[in-house]
Amino acid sequence: DLDDKVNENTYTITKEISSTINSTLAKLKAVDQSREDFVANVSHELKTPITSMRVLADSIMSMEEAPIELYKEFMNDISGEVDRESKIIDDLLALVRLDKMAVRLNIEQTDINLLIKQTLKRLKPIAALRRIDIILETAREVKAEVDETKLSLALNNLVENAIKYNKEGGWVRVTLDADHKFFYIKVIDSGVGIDEEFRESIFERFYRIDKARSRETGGTGLGLSITKGIIMRHKGIIKVSDGEGEGTVFTVRIPLNYIK
Ligand code: ADP
């Protein structure tokens, strides 16, 4: 009788252990797969500009007597590919640094109005190139515990996108508001908009809705995943919705007081 009880218990325990092991293995596999995908994506993205440079260099070298204008044109293209490669590397480094939980956020009481103003000021020249108006609307003074450099990068990515995926002569509106617990930043644009079906994917690494156009606009597909990473580390949330008429709204909500 006692033997039976022991057997039964052993059986239940063994079953539990084996199911735990199985689910752990499944989780590990998923982590491994996403890591593998990431490495594959990284290699691909890093190789693309190099391949272009190689093709450009080889073809100019294979010409017997190329006119100087053609040389200049090819060198200009190569220079563009170098810029692109640097941008990918910069974004990747930002992403990797963010992933390392060991890298502590540098949390300080920060004037959010000022942070937004300074970030927008840096983007004014890019906006001006496309005759895009940047409008800032702040409802109140907001002070919050954030990592100023990182939050500025997150906002920079959102506003840069709002400029890039906009039309000539369009506008970008940035609003700031707060209640007793959170502050809210909205980046609203008059641009091309984002279809419902893409709204989750755009936060994934390397995801671009229109690869050709994004390439033209110098995108790496990493901007939004960096932005989301930064906001999550502040225990905040980011969501995307329809703009006013056309365009897109990104809404960010972050606690005023940093939660460890
Ligand atoms: P990218 O470097 O391509 O801009 P992001 O991660 O910043 O990468 O954005 C991912 C994709 O989401 C972009 O390629 C673009 O297709 C889309 N997107 C991002 N922001 C906007 C926006 N404000 N309006 C329309 N599409 C956008």
Ligand 1: atom nearest CA of 219 is 2
CA dihedral sign, ordered 120, 125, 130, 131: positive
Q: Which atom of ligand 1 is nearest to the CA of 187?
A: 23
Number of other CB atoms surrounding residue 115 within 10 Å:
20
Q: Whose CA is nearest to atom 12 of ligand 1?
A: 202
Q: Count Cα atoms within 13 angstroms, Cβ side, for 19.
A: 5
Based on C-alpha coordinates, what's the Rg of the chain? 24
How large is the average pLDDT for residues 189-206?
A: 93
**pLDDT attached to residue 216:** 67
- At a CB cut-off of 8 Å and minimum separation 6, what does 235 contact? 254, 255, 258, 259
Confidence of residue 184 (pLDDT cuts 50, 70, 90): very high
Ligand 1 pocket check for 219: Cβ under 6 Å: yes
Ligand 1 centroid from CA 168, angstroms: 17
pLDDT of amino acid 145: 98
Segment 201-214 shows an average pLDDT of 83
| Average pLDDT of the residues in 140-147 | 97
Output the CA 84–ligand 1 centroid distance in Å. 16
CB 210 near ligand 1, within 6 Å: yes
- Identify the weakest region by mean pLDDT among 60-69, 75-84, 139-148: 60-69
Residue type, 16: E
What letter would DSSP give residue 72?
H
Read off the pLDDT band of 32 (50, 70, 90).
confident
For ligand 1, atom 18, name the residue with the nearest CA.
Answer: 161
Query: Cα of 256 to ligand 1 centre, how many Å?
Result: 27
CA 164 / ligand 1 centre spacing (Å): 8
Residue 68 has pLDDT above 80, yes or no: yes
243 lines ligand 1 (CB under 6 A): no
Q: Where are the beta strands (DSSP E) in 148-229?
A: 171-178, 182-189
- Going by alpha carbons, the residue nearest to atom 4 of ligand 1 is 219
* 171 three-state secondary structure: strand
Under DSSP, the state recorded for 120 is: H
Mean pLDDT of 214-230: 84
Q: Is 102 a residue whose pLDDT tops 60?
A: no
For the ranges 81-95, 200-214, 230-244, the lowest mean pLDDT is seen at 200-214
Distance CA 14, CA 236 (A): 41
Q: Which residues of 163-185 are buried (b: 16+ CB within 10 A; e: fewer)?
A: bbbbeeebbbbbbbebeeebbbb
CA distances from 111 to 35, 115, 117, 257 (A): 37, 6, 10, 13
Residue 100: pLDDT above 80? no
For ligand 1, is residue 248 a contact (CB within 6 Å)?
yes
What's the ipTM?
0.98
CB 112 within 8 A of CB 183: yes
Q: How confident is the model at residue 65 (pLDDT cuts 50, 70, 90)?
A: confident
| Average pLDDT, rounded, for the chain | 91
